[in-house]
Amino acid sequence: MSRLGKMAITVPGGTSVRAEGQTIIAKGPKGELKYVAHDDVEVVIEGASITTKPRSETKRANMMWGTTRAQVNNIVTGVSTGFAKKLEITGVGYKANVAGKVLQLSLGYSHEVNYPIPADITVVTPKPTEIQVSGIDRQKVGQVAAEIREFRGPEPYKGKGVKYENEFIFRKEGKKK
């Protein structure tokens, strides 16, 4: 039994959810998202709550039950409030700047790193050492944040690089004489 799958999803005000076969469509103030549920899982929409249940007692149906519930919850949350990830840049001379639809990163290389921002993602730099990635699709927000972090991940000796806001970097001591 899936503990996560048993919980009902409450639809916030201003958001509408409908099902067309196995496709769940959520519309809200931030936009519209679709998710195609697995055939082994049934999604039931009753008023302002959504429940998921497996169609059979197979192992695959139980695995997809919790996954489907989480994905449906993500699209409902995305169209109503959206998702955001914050990145911090640490290091002398390391900074970020948004110019149009391009994120310009100075990360200690001999050249500037230019990252084209996807169409449905918003990237803001409130400070030169802080990046905020936001959007309605949780997967895309996380993917863009991971791609930005990948340009110069945090290193364990001085902690220089790009890291998530609450990420803990294990520090190493370094050489001794």
Which one, of 120, 132, 33, lies nearest residue 75 by Cα?
33
Q: Between the CA of residue 171 and those of 3, 17, 23, 105, what are the distances in Å? A: 37, 46, 46, 24
DSSP state letter for 94: -
H or E element, residue 148: helix 138-150
Model pLDDT, residue 174: 85
Taking only the tens of pLDDT, the chain with its 177 residues reads 667 888 899 999 889 999 998 999 999 999 999 999 999 999 999 888 999 999 998 999 988 999 999 999 999 999 999 999 999 999 999 999 999 999 999 999 999 999 999 999 999 999 999 999 999 999 999 999 999 999 999 999 998 999 999 999 999 988 887
* Phi, psi torsion values for 176, nearest 5 degrees: -120, 150
Q: Which residues pair with 25 in a beta bridge?
A: 18, 34
Residues whose CB is less than 8 angstroms from the CB of residue 92 and which lie 6 or more positions away in sequence, other chains included: none
Model pLDDT, residue 176: 84
SS3 53: strand
Pairing type for strands 161-164 and 83-90 reads antiparallel
If phi > 0 it is left, if psi is from -120 to 50 it is alpha, else beta; for residue 8 that is: beta
Model pLDDT, residue 175: 86
What structural domains and CATH numbers belong to the chain? 3-80 (3.90.930.12), 83-164 (3.90.930.12)
SS3 33: strand
